[in-house]
Amino acid sequence: MAEIKTEDGKKEKHYLYLDGETISGKVSIKLKKAGTRLEHHGIKVEFVGQIELYYDRGNHHEFTSLVRELARPGELTSNVSYDFEFNQVEKPYESYTGTNVRLRYFLRLTVVKRLSDLVKEQDIVVHTLSHYPDMNSSIKMEVGIEDSLHIEFEYNKSKYHLQDVIVGKIYFILVRIKIRHMELQIIKRETTGIGPNTFNENETIAKFEIMDGAPVRGESIPIRLFLNGYELTPTMRDINKKFSVRYYLNLVLVDEEDRRYFKQQEITVFRKADKVRKSVRNASAKFGSQDVAAHVQSPSSDHTDASSPRYEHNYIAD
């Protein structure tokens, strides 16, 4: 199952897995020069989930790590392939590539040799699905600056899925300033680190003008903002105590003298579970090195239900 993910600003496609799904496939090792021998001290494949903080590159935090031994120490004289399976693997977090942090899952093939190992990595993408929340109250609030501006804003929900639409309205209770226009922004705040070493990265994902001109008391301005046009991820709160990604709606009013009045409100963004999942056959990925070309093929993914059974979370600590 192929899916798009951004990295260094570019988009890549990797196989998509959900929590609880089995990851299986085949490793093929081809010797570049036929007739040569490759001595090794073992071949293994690992499934790793890790969090990388960009400002602390030396310390990758592995929250999941499983290994399968493919071959005992020996010698390769011809091309070989090995089947592998990681059965019903827990993938508790969604893959995320951000400004200061990255969470990724990947398969790592290692051919252990005397002097230096041959290592190849193959990324996969994990999505976490949520069911539609039972409680999804609207956000309704009255805010203002004494004697100058009072508004009441309302958004129809507090939790939105990635293809949802924000429906709302702004009602003007008191307008004693000269407003020129009003816009709604979606702001993404990525928080990494703890305590005094907290980094907050704010990114304005969207700016959408909802009103042009000067309103008077009693006017209502409607809001209709479609989320599927923007690059959003689900809200992530305190992932493995390492980072958070939160989204805010920022309502901004600008007056004739370019003074800005604003009100930020957090919303929860989630990924809705699809009704139907299609399975994929016969996709493959290649990667090579000096003397071997290793090849991971076709995750023969079982067609699992979107609602995976609940697992105890036994993480392999680093």
Partner 1 sequence: MANRDATARIQPRKQDLEDAYAPPANFLEIDVLNPETHGIGNKRFTDYELRMRTNLPIFRVKESCVRRRYSDFEWLRGELERDSKIVVPPLPGKALSRQLPFRGDDGIFEEDFIEDRRQGLEQFINKIAGHPLAQNEKCLHIFLLEPVIDKNYVPGKVRLT
Q: Is residue 145 involved in binding partner 1 (CB under 8 A)? A: yes
d(CA 104, CA 313): 18
Q: Is residue 135 involved in binding partner 1 (CB under 8 A)? A: no
The residue from 106, 171, 199, 248 that contacts partner 1 (CB under 8 A) is 171
**Quick one: 60 or 180, whose CB is closer to partner 1?**
180
> Using only C-alpha atoms, what is the Rg of the chain?
25
Q: Is residue 149 involved in binding partner 1 (CB under 8 A)? A: yes
**For the window 259-278, what string marks contact with partner 1 as x by the rule CB under 8 A?**
x-------------------
Structure tokens at 304: 């699992």
Question: What is the dihedral sign for C-alpha 152, 154, 158, 163?
Answer: negative
CA max distance for the chain: 87
Q: To the nearest whole angstrom, how small is the minimum distance from the Cβ of residue 219 to partner 1?
A: 6
Q: Which stretch binds partner 1 (CB under 8 A): 3-11, 59-67, 163-171, 197-205?
A: 163-171
The b/e string for 168-193 (b: 16+ C-beta within 10 A; e otherwise) is bbbbbeebebebbebbbbbbbebbbb
Q: To the nearest whole angstrom, how small is the minimum distance from the Cβ of residue 168 to partner 1?
A: 6
The residue from 148, 228, 284, 307 that contacts partner 1 (CB under 8 A) is 148
Neighbouring CB atoms inside 10 A of 211's CB total 19
Closest CA to 185 of 153, 208, 218: 208
Q: Which stretch binds partner 1 (CB under 8 A): 25-33, 162-170, 185-193, 281-289?
A: 162-170
The residue from 12, 255, 297, 300 that contacts partner 1 (CB under 8 A) is 255
3-state SS track over 259-317: CEEEEEEEEEEECECCCCCCCCCCCEEEEECCCEEEEEECCCCCCCCCCCCCCCCCCCC
Q: To the nearest whole angstrom, how small is the minimum distance from the Cβ of residue 162 to partner 1?
A: 14
At residue 306, φ and ψ (nearest 5 deg) are -65, -30
d(CA 74, CA 36): 14
The residue from 7, 209, 219, 231 that contacts partner 1 (CB under 8 A) is 219
The string of DSSP letters for 72-101 reads -SEEE-S-EEEEEEETT----S--EE-SSE
**Quick one: 157 or 242, whose CB is closer to partner 1?**
157
Count of residues in contact with partner 1, rule CB under 8 A:
29
Q: Is residue 225 involved in binding partner 1 (CB under 8 A)? A: no
The residue from 131, 176, 207, 237 that contacts partner 1 (CB under 8 A) is 176
User: Where do contacts with partner 1 occur on this chain (CB under 8 A)?
Assistant: 145-149, 154, 156, 165, 167-169, 171, 174-178, 214, 216-220, 222, 224, 255-257, 259
